[in-house]
Every structure is written in C-alpha cells, then in structure tokens.
A and B are shown apart, each in its own frame.
Chain A
Amino acid sequence: MHLHPDAEAAGVRLAARDTLPSTNADALARARAGERGPVWIAAARQTAGRGRRGNVWTSEPGNLYASLLLTDAAAPARLPELCFVVALAARDSIVDVAPQLARKLKLKWPNDLLLDGAKLAGILIEAESAGGANAAAAGIGVNCAHHPDNLAYPATSLAAHGVTVSPGELLHALSRTMLLRVAHWDRGPGFAEIRSEWLAHAAGIGGDIRVRLADRELTGTFETLDSLGRLMLRLPGGALEAITVGEVFSPARVQT
C-alpha cells in the first residue's frame, strides 16, 4: 500500500498492517504514545472493527479499513464538522476510481456513503485528549469486495456494482482527496463551502425521513443542515428540530 505522492509530499505517513483489532483504536493508542498526525493506519483485516456506541463493523479482508490520525485538527466545538469533510473525501475517492458511479453516490446524514441507496461506506470519528494534544481518528470502512447482509440498513459493495478496486488502490486515491478536503475545510473557515457541497450530494434533502433517536423516533421533512451540521427536521406540527445524534431512514426503507 502507498499513499498518493501529493499526500507523501505534504508529510502524511502510512502504517499498513496485516491485522489490527481496530484502526481507530491503533490511531488513538499512537496518539497517547506521543505520535502526531497526519498518519494513516490501514489494516487488511480488523478483529474488533467498530461502529458507533459499540456496534461491530464486520471487517473481512478485501475491503478498506483505514483511519487518519489528525493532531489538533480544529477547536473542539468545530470538530464535528470533520465528519462532513471526511464523507466528501470518501465520496471523491470513489468517484476517482469509478467515475461511472458518480451519479449514484449519495451522502447520508451525517457521514455514510450510499451507492444506489445502500450503504457502501461508514465513517466513525473518535477524538480525545492524548499526549498533550487533541487527537482525532477518522476511521473509514469501504465495502470494496463484499458487504454484510441482514442489516437494518441495506448494504452494498463496489464489486456488487461490477467495479473491481483493491483497498490499496482506494487508499491511494483517498489519501489525495482527504488532503484536499481537509485543506479546504481549513480547521473551520471552509465549513460553509463544505456544507454546501455536502448538501449538493446529500440523500433525502427536502423529502420525508424517519430519524431514530435513543429513546424515540421522529418523522418529518429533512430541510437542511444548520451551520453546525445538525440535521434540521421539520416536524408535522411545523416545529423545526435540530438533531445531533440519530439514525436516518427513508420511510420506504424502514425495517423494524
């Protein structure tokens, strides 16, 4: 595996491993040991790949599992913006390797990537104060060769759409698109443009959605993102709800 020459020239490093419990956990362990980003951690296989709040991310060889460790990426209040930056970079990288899929690639709030309405990639950002700095690990899983079945939200892979791409080829592209998007964001000032571009590729804007919260489910119209990146949901009664955490479903696809 190699990073794109532009990323290498910018001082981004790569640690590629055969097996790791979790690339995010490894990135944060490095930060605690004093390592500074930007560095990519990639693994051919994860034995304890993770999604949000203890969810498992199935991690068989053939797909991309990688985390970018960033040091002092932004002020803490602005760090959640990073998820939109990473989601756009992930989308860009897939357009790079498979331009014919561009029109079918949509972003699902806050930061999943959909291909023809099914989940192609997931992103989980974990941040902590480590080694005297603020460390953020942006973990990305992309279904290149295969995808899990029987999830609440249907999944797909590049292979299922007739595209053969190795994890190494995809990381090569991703290391370049991430470099560009992070520079564009510029630790916050570029977020207004990142937000506009995210909206331009978003799934479900203006349509009815369901949002599963920790303790209830809301139905309404997905109006827009606010300036913080929160999902603005217009409820049937007319009130506007700002959502920071929730799982979005389009009504037609809800499985209970």
Chain B
Amino acid sequence: MSEQDLIRELAKLLDETGLGEIEVEREGLRVRVARHSVTNVVAGGGSHVPAIPAVAPAPAAIALDEIDPAKHPGVVTSPMVGTAYRAAEPSAKPFVDVGSVVKAGDPLLIVEAMKTMNQIPSPRAGKVAQILFEDGHPVEYGEPLMIIE
C-alpha cells in the first residue's frame, strides 16, 4: 500500500470509528492521522510551500511522520521566509556541523531576506544532530532547519 493509500485508509477509519487520532508505525514510517489539529503536511523542505503555513481542512488533518523533523522536540524552525546560510560569509567556516556542541544562544545559521541578515541562535544547549537545509537555498516560515538534541 502506498503512503497515500495508507493515509486515505486511516482517514476513512477515523471517520468510521469516530476516534480523534490514529497512529501506525511500520518499516521506519510513522503515520499519524488526527481529526482536529492544524499541522504542516510537508516532511522535509521545498521551496514551493506557501509562506504562511497552510491550514489543513477539517475534518481530518493529516500529518506524515516519516521521522518528521517538525515534530522532533529538538527542532529549530525558520522564523521567517528567506535564504539560509551555514556560515557568516561564503569563505567563512560554518557556524556548526553535525556533532557540534552548542550553548543556548550560540549562532546556528543565517537566514537572509530583503538584505536583512538574521542570525538564528540555538534555543537550547545540546548537540547538533541534524542539519535539514541546504546552504544558500530558500527556506519557508516554520520550516525545520536543525535538530539540537
């Protein structure tokens, strides 16, 4: 069964049973279908997502949790629409690499929009577990950028 079919089946089941939420996990894929919540439908980046997070239609909002970084407790998301950079300038060393240990407030990356360079600080102390954006590529509001564990 494809992911789409699985989600459709689960959504139907949700309606039939009147349950609020169903979660299924298999082969590294976790799918959660919930009736009420407003979540983003996209796992991973992409430059053609609308700037304002889409509000999923009722009755069933569907979230695809393929190790969904947006749901990770250590996720750092983009506070704005722009272009993300790993270093202060092209010739400089990246602020962090996977495995870097950071303190709360340490710079992680820069998001540029309208010639405004926004340094994004680490919200917590920890270790950089994942870097989810590509250097010099567009990011959307709320897009997961890094996981700090």
Contacts and interface: CB of A to CB of B under 8 A. Distances in A.
Given A80-B114, A228-B51, A214 B119 contact: no
B99 interface: no
Interface string A16-37: 0000000000000000000000
B141 A77 contact: yes
B2 interface: no
Contact of B89 (A53, A110, A125): A53
Nearest to B91: A54
Interface stretch (B16-24, B38-46, B79-87, B125-133): B79-87
Given A54-B89, A54-B92, A215-B136, A125 B116 contact: yes
Given A54-B90, A215-B136, A80 B116 contact: yes
B138 interface: yes
Interface residues of B, number: 26
Contacts of A76: 79-80, 118
A229 B83 contact: no
B121 interface: yes
Contacts of B141: 77
Interface residues of A, number: 29
B80 A77 contact: yes
Contacts of B14: none
B79 A82 contact: no
B81 to A, nearest CB: 6
Interface stretch (A38-46, A126-134, A149-157, A169-177): A126-134
A76 B91 CA distance: 26
Interface stretch (B5-13, B58-66, B68-76, B105-113): B105-113
A127 B121 contact: no
B136 A52 contact: no
Nearest to B104: A129
B118 A53 contact: no
Interface in A116-161: 123-129, 136
Given A54-B90, A110-B115, A128-B118, 17 more contacts: A52-B112, A52-B117, A53-B112, A54-B88, A54-B91, A77-B80, A79-B118, A80-B80, A80-B118, A123-B115, A125-B117, A126-B117, A215-B136, A230-B114, A244-B81, A244-B114, A245-B115
